[in-house]
Amino acid sequence: MHRPQRRDRNLSVSDTDLRAQGSEDAERLSSAPVDSDGPTGIGVAGWLRWTWRQLTSMRVALILLFMLSLAAIPGSLIPQTSQNAFKVQTWKAAHQGITPLYEKLQLFDVYSSVWFSAIYILLFISLAGCIVPRTWQFVGVLRAAPPAAPANLTRMPVYAAWRTSADPQAAVAAAERLLKARRFRAHRGGTAVAAEKGYLREVGNLLFHLSLFALLAGFAWASLASGQGGKLVVEGGGYTNTMTQLDDFSGSAFYQASDLDPFGFKLDGFTDKYQTTGDQIGSAREFTAHIRYWNGADPSKLTAGEIQVNHPLEIGGSKVFLIGHGYAPVITVKDASGKVVYHDAVPFLPQDSNLTSTGVVKVGDYGQKDGQKVQLGFQGFFLPTAPANFGVNTGPRSLFPGDADPALVLTAYAGDLGTDAGSPQNVYQLNLSHLTQLQQDGQIAKVKLKPGEGWTLPDNYGSISFDGYKKWATFSVSHRPGNSVALAGAVLAILGLVGSLFVQRRRIWVRAVTTPDGRTLVELAGLARSESAKIAEELAELAVDLQDDAPALDEDEPAGADEAAGDEDDEAADEAVGEAVHETAGPAVPEPADPGSDPADNPKE
């Protein structure tokens, strides 16, 4: 029997010629923008054309993406005005020497700075310049038939051939049927069939580009139509989403104070739990704000809800985040006659992980003393778990963040608070320029109070009592309409990247022609667009399946002989086909039968 022999791996064309022709054909099979070493054309038009090609090239897009990543780093390391204006002011006060430089570089407003916006816009243009032509070209590829079989199939990377007594048209029709059953897009022309598979690779590539574009568009939309405000609420208090209620607010070009969503809530309680044993004693275990909220203009229609860290509550078009908590001592101040001149829960701000908190009490309506108007001020520390004694060098420090043994440490001042001048003041700091610290027995007047205890102030200034404490929570009210678009873009970008990496684009050609001796020569060839053994396996499986319609002849078997010689002959034929499938040496050199129509395997990013 005649067995199909392997083709000689040493082709007559030199390796240099093969590489040159392979490179030329690969360029014809790609839809990526052609890189140019310099401007094409003459004058301004040529420079513009060259600039556009560079901007839409893969190299420039990757550079812009890398630059955007680097540009975002200062925004995460330096306080941003849009996120926490008070923190920015504190940072500027602590770094006065370098602050002017940072302000010139817009490092306190990174995401709205000129240089960050420039990178952002250029990346937008680069992606758009890539997506539009690639999509149009890919649609053209889908509408066109697979490229016709090259004249010399032996030059393909994977090749198989055998002789059969079957009719050429029957062999080609059977090959077309088998290829379509394997979900190849097949087209028969004359005595050959061309098939292609793996279009999802380019679909994934385009999906990745479109998703990245959507991701950037989502962030841009969020920056142009978003707003954020902060509010500290003490237990038992409430909040209405208006500018007068917000502690701070940062809007955008298309979202101002008049666009705030109508809603509000009441803070009924706050639950905080900490680990009390082991190596992680004091570590947080639960933070939950228990609220009742309303959506719309009717505050009587309340709905119970909870807000936890990383679990915001969505009300209308806004989300309410829990971002902090602390304690608010309830303090009562009386004048010398016993009249209550101050009574309120005063939020103290945490300073460490054990919630050692500092705060001030400003009594602006104290009245007169010795015929002169007097105001009182108190600076203090609230300690959720106070030690028995304070160290000389450490000062008041809490031992545990939970309220196991709370105490309030106060020092008193008298004079002018500066609140009547009309200038804005920090509610958590005292302006000591016109205040005098009270003395007691020749020492600074200070006291440590437990809940329910009081202190008679020196010099007949009255008294102050520590009635108890409440918990407070800080909330961030955020309106960001582009977050869902950005999230969907990120998810789809991952799916597109997976498709572009794991789907293999490949082509198979089958040709059947009548030889001078009256037999039929069946040739199979495959071309993969990436280094993969899958094309060789598929070609071998196709060759084996094709034996049912075009069985291989032995070398000594005459044309037209009976081919149904039993299982042994079938096994011999399959073995012959298996030997006939091989991979040629050197690079793939396809015939230029599909000029400039394939955007499959040259992804831009």
Question: Does residue 600 lie within any of the structural domains?
Answer: no
Domain-located, residue 100: yes
Sign, CA torsion 489/492/498/499:
negative
**Which residue, of 479, 512, 531, is where some domain finishes?**
479
Q: Which residues of 267-296 are buried (b: 16+ CB within 10 A; e: fewer)?
A: beebebebeeeeeeebeeeebbbbbebbbe
Q: How far from 212 is each of 19, 270, 302, 481, 483, CA to CA, in Å?
A: 35, 41, 41, 18, 14
| Per-residue confidence (pLDDT) for residue 409, from 0 to 100 | 94
Place of tokens 């556009």: 52
| Count of domains for the chain | 3
Report the pLDDT value the prediction gives residue 394, as an integer from 0 to 100.
66
Q: Are residues 238 and 122 in the same domain?
A: no
Is 21 among the domain residues? Answer: no
pLDDT of residue 531: 63
Residues 294 and 154 in one domain: no
Q: Examine the domain organization and report whether 257 and 342 are in the same domain.
A: yes
Q: Are 151 and 260 members of one domain? A: no
User: Would the pTM count as exceeding 0.85?
Assistant: no
Residue 3 has a pLDDT of 39
Cα distance between residue 151 and residue 136, in whole Å? 29
Two structure tokens written together for 198: 């793996």
Provide the residue range defining the domain that includes 380: 227-479
Q: How far apart (Å, rounded) are the C-alpha atoms in residues 486 and 87?
A: 28
| Domain-ending residue, one of 113, 138, 163 | 138
Instruction: Let me know whether 329 and 182 are in one domain.
Output: no
C-alpha distances (whole Å) from 280 to each of 28, 287, 544 are 64, 17, 66
First vs last Cα of the chain: how many Å apart? 53
Nearest partner of 191 among 159, 160, 151, judged by Cα? 151
Residue 163: beta bridge partners? 521
Q: Are residues 150 and 130 in the same domain?
A: no
Give a yes or no: residue 544 inside a domain.
yes
Determine which helix (DSSP H) or strand (DSSP E) holds 86, and give its type and residue range: helix 85-94
| 418-448 per-residue burial string, b: 16 or more CB within 10 A, e: under 16 | beeeeeeeeeeebbeeebeebeeeeeebbbb
In a domain, 598, yes or no: no
Q: Are residues 246 and 384 in the same domain?
A: yes
Residue 295 and residue 392 in one domain:
yes
Phi (first) and psi of residue 401, to 5 degrees: -70, -20
Cα 496 from Cα 208, distance rounded (Å): 5
Strand partners, 357: 350, 382
What pLDDT is attached to residue 145?
Answer: 81
Whether residue 292 is contained in a domain is answered as yes
In this predicted structure, what is the pLDDT of residue 299? 87
In a domain, 555, yes or no: no
- Residue finishing a domain among 479, 495, 530: 479
Averaged in consecutive runs of 10 residues, what is the pLDDT profile of the chain (605 residues)? 38 42 45 52 78 83 87 87 73 87 89 86 84 80 82 89 91 92 88 87 83 82 83 94 87 84 94 89 91 91 92 91 94 93 94 92 88 91 89 77 94 88 77 90 90 93 95 92 82 85 85 91 87 80 91 64 43 46 43 40 39
Q: What is the pLDDT of residue 304?
A: 94
Q: What is the pLDDT of residue 392?
A: 55
On whether both 472 and 516 belong to a single domain, the answer is no
Residues 339 and 388 in one domain: yes
Residue 150 lies in a domain: yes
Q: Are residues 350 and 443 in the same domain?
A: yes
Query: Two tokens at 304?
Result: 């119970």
157, 205, 332, 441, 526 from 501: Cα distances, Å = 21, 9, 69, 80, 20
Same domain? For 368 and 430 the reply is: yes
Instruction: Give the CATH number, domain containing residue 155.
Output: 3.30.310.80
